């Protein structure tokens, strides 16, 4: 095939910028899907590198979401909305309510002994927990952390 370019081809070539990077294959595809639905011209760079070798993904900086520079600002706003929406779809495992907020809470001490132990060891083993608090039933639960994403690719 011929790859010779004329002036018209050159005008089609667009300037892509790095919008975000992901260590998680699924997250990267969700983000790309959302942007494409909104008509944003984007693609995933280093996708194959990450999928084949999750260890290497740290070295190359993960899967890079590239967008046309002229649409980068809008794409960034869409991703921000996606982050907010994914937080809003969080539901209480006890009552199913969406009336949930992430709150910081010191680990609860069940009795005076653990309170004392907690006081002594506080700076080492008692970090402030981030929990999701349900305002409907009062249930508190922790969100699954995203850090295991890279390992899961290997399965
Ligand atoms: Zn609840």
- Whole-number Å distance, alpha carbon 132 to ligand 1 midpoint, is 10
Q: Are residues 95 and 123 in the same domain?
A: yes
| Separation CA 121–CA 62 (nearest Å) | 36
- Whole-number Å distance, alpha carbon 136 to ligand 1 midpoint, is 5
Neighbours of 24 (CB within 10 A): 20
Q: Are residues 100 and 63 in the same domain?
A: no
Q: Are residues 74 and 105 in the same domain?
A: no
Q: Are residues 18 and 67 in the same domain?
A: yes
The tally of domains found in the chain comes to: 2
Q: In which domain, by residue range, is 123 found?
A: 90-155
Whole-structure pTM over 0.85, yes or no? Answer: no
Maximum mean pLDDT: which of 27-41, 77-91, 103-117, 140-154: 27-41
Instruction: Read off the tokens for 75.
Output: 């794409």
Q: Are residues 73 and 127 in the same domain?
A: no
Express each pLDDT in 12-47 by its tens digit. 567 999 999 888 788 899 899 999 999 999 999 887
């Amino acid at each position: 095939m011929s790859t010779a370019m004329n002036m018209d081809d050159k005008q089609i070539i667009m300037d892509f910028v790095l919008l975000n990077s992901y260590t998680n294959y699924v997250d990267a595809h969700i983000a790309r899907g959302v942007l494409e639905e909104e008509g944003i011209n984007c693609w995933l760079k280093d996708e194959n590198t990450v999928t084949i070798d999750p260890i290497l993904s740290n070295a190359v900086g993960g899967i890079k979401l590239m967008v046309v520079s002229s649409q980068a600002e809008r794409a960034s706003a869409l991703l921000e909305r996606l982050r907010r929406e994914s937080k809003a779809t969080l539901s209480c495992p006890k009552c199913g309510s969406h009336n949930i907020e992430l709150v910081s809470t010191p680990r609860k001490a069940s009795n005076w002994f653990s309170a004392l132990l907690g006081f002594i060891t506080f700076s080492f083993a008692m970090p402030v927990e981030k929990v999701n608090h349900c305002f409907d039933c009062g249930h508190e639960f922790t969100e699954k952390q995203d850090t295991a994403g890279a390992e899961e690719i290997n399965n």
